[in-house]
Structure 1
Amino acid sequence: MSMTPCLRVRAAWHYADSNRDYIGQSTISFTFLCRSMKRVFYLFAVILATVFVATAQDRTITGTVTDRDGTALSGAVIQVKGTKTGTFSRNNGTYSIKAADGATLVFKLVGKKAREVSVGENNVINIVLENDDARQSEVVVTAIGLERSKKSLGYSTQELGGDQIVASRESNVVNSLASRVAGVQVNNSTGVPGASSYIRIRGSSSLTGDNQPLFVVDGIPIDNSQVASEGTTGSVAYSNRAMDIDPNSVESMTVLKGPAATALYGIRAAGGAIIITTKKGRASDGKVNISVDGSWAFDEVNKLPELQSKWSQGAGGRYAFSSGASRAWGALIDTLRFDGNSAYKWDRRGAIVGQSNPAAKQDQPVTAVNPADAFFRTGLTQNQTVTMSGGSQAATYLVSFSNLNSDGVVPNSSWAKKNLKVSSSSSVAKNVTASANINYVNSGGRRIQQGSNVSGVMLSLLRTPPTFDNANGYGQDAVTTPEAYRFPDGTQRTYRAGVGYDNPFWTVNENVFTDEVNRLFGNAQVDWSIT
Structure 2
Amino acid sequence: MKNIFFLILFSFLSFTAFSQTSISGNIVDENNLPVIGANILAEGTSVGTITGIDGDFTLDVPAGVENIVISYTGYQSQTIPLQGQTQFFITMAEGQVLDEVVVTALGVSRDEKALGYAVQTVSSESIKDANTVSAIDALAGSAAGVQVTQASGAAGAASRIVLRGQTSFNGNNQALIVVDGVRLDNSEFHSERSLGGVANSNRAMDINPNDIENVSILKGAAATALYGIEGARGVVLITTKRGSSAGLKVDVGTGMTFSNINNVVGLNDEYTQGWSGQWAGPSTAFIPSAVSWGAHKDDLYWDGSDYKWDKNGQLTTDATAGPKFVPYDNVNNFFETGTTWNTNIAISGGSEAADYRFSFGHSDEKGVAPNNTFTRYNLGLNLGSKALDDKLDLRFTANYAKTGGNRVQQGSNISGVMLGLLRTPISFDNANGNVDPANDVSSYQFEDNSQRNYRAGGGYDNPFWIVNNTPFNDNVNRFFGNISASYAFSDWVNLRTTLGTDFYTDNRTQRFELGSRNAPAGQVI
User: Which segment drifts farther, 379-388 or 139-148?
Assistant: 379-388
Letter in 1 for 2:187: S
Summarize the Cα distance change of 1:129–1:311 in structure 2 as closer, same or farther, 3 Å threshold: same
Q: Secondary structure at the match of 2:415?
A: coil
Letter in 2 for 1:445: G
- CA apart distance, 1:355: 2.0
User: Which segment drifts farther, 483-492 or 403-412?
Assistant: 483-492
CA shift digits 1:68-110 (9 cap, x unpaired): xxxx58786573623232347xxxxxxx746689996857575
Summarize the Cα distance change of 1:99–1:485 in structure 2 as closer, same or farther, 3 Å threshold: closer
Q: CA RMSD in A?
A: 3.1
- CA apart distance, 1:349: 3.4
Summarize the Cα distance change of 1:444–1:438 in structure 2 as closer, same or farther, 3 Å threshold: same
Letter in 1 for 2:444: Y
- CA apart distance, 1:249: 0.8
1:310 match: 270
Summarize the Cα distance change of 1:392–1:225 in structure 2 as closer, same or farther, 3 Å threshold: same
Contact 2:131–2:256 under 8 Å retained in 1? no
1:355 match: 318
1:346 match: 309
Gaps of 5+ in 1: 1-53, 67-71, 89-95
Give the one of 123, 127, 131 matched to 1:165.
127
Tell me the distance in 2 between the aligned counterparts of 1:126 and 1:469: 73
Letter in 2 for 1:515: D
Tell me the distance in 2 between the aligned counterparts of 1:279 and 1:330: 63
Letter in 1 for 2:313: G
Contact 2:37–2:50 under 8 Å retained in 1? no
Tell me the distance in 2 between the aligned counterparts of 1:165 and 1:261: 23
Q: Report 1:36-51 matches (<5 A).
A: none
* Count of residues paired in the alignment: 453
- CA apart distance, 1:216: 1.1
Give the one of 203, 215, 218 matched to 2:165.
203
Summarize the Cα distance change of 1:208–1:232 in structure 2 as closer, same or farther, 3 Å threshold: closer
CA shift digits 1:421-471 (9 cap, x unpaired): 000001133210100111100001000011111122122111100111111
Q: Secondary structure at the match of 1:523?
A: strand
- CA apart distance, 1:150: 1.0
Question: Do structure 1's residue 330 and structure 2's residue 290 form an aligned pair?
Answer: no
Letter in 2 for 1:420: L
2:428 match: 468
Q: Secondary structure at the match of 1:373?
A: helix
Give me the TM-score of the superposition, normalised by structure 2.
0.78
1:432 match: 392
- CA apart distance, 1:313: 0.4
Contact 2:76–2:92 under 8 Å retained in 1? no
- CA apart distance, 1:128: 7.3
1:151 match: 113
- CA apart distance, 1:169: 1.0
Contact 2:196–2:416 under 8 Å retained in 1? no
Letter in 1 for 2:299: T
- CA apart distance, 1:242: 1.1
Identity across matched positions, percent: 38
Question: Do structure 1's residue 495 and structure 2's residue 454 form an aligned pair?
Answer: yes
Question: Do structure 1's residue 371 and structure 2's residue 325 form an aligned pair?
Answer: no
Q: Secondary structure at the match of 1:334?
A: helix
CA shift digits 1:100-130 (9 cap, x unpaired): 89996857575x6555667898999685735
Q: Secondary structure at the match of 1:86?
A: coil
- CA apart distance, 1:207: 2.5
Contact 1:77–1:109 under 8 Å retained in 2? no
1:447 match: 407
Q: Report 1:252-271 matches (<5 A).
A: 252-271=214-233
2:50 match: 84
Give me the TM-score of the superposition, normalised by structure 1.
0.77
Give the one of 225, 246, 252 matched to 2:187.
225
User: Which segment drifts farther, 119-128 or 418-427?
Assistant: 119-128
- CA apart distance, 1:208: 2.4
Letter in 2 for 1:142: T
2:346 match: 387
- CA apart distance, 1:323: 5.2
Contact 2:102–2:121 under 8 Å retained in 1? yes
2:506 match: none
Letter in 1 for 2:51: T
Contact 1:300–1:378 under 8 Å retained in 2? yes
- CA apart distance, 1:259: 2.6
Gaps of 5+ in 2: 1-19, 41-47, 491-525
Tell me the distance in 2 between the aligned counterparts of 1:490 and 1:62: 81
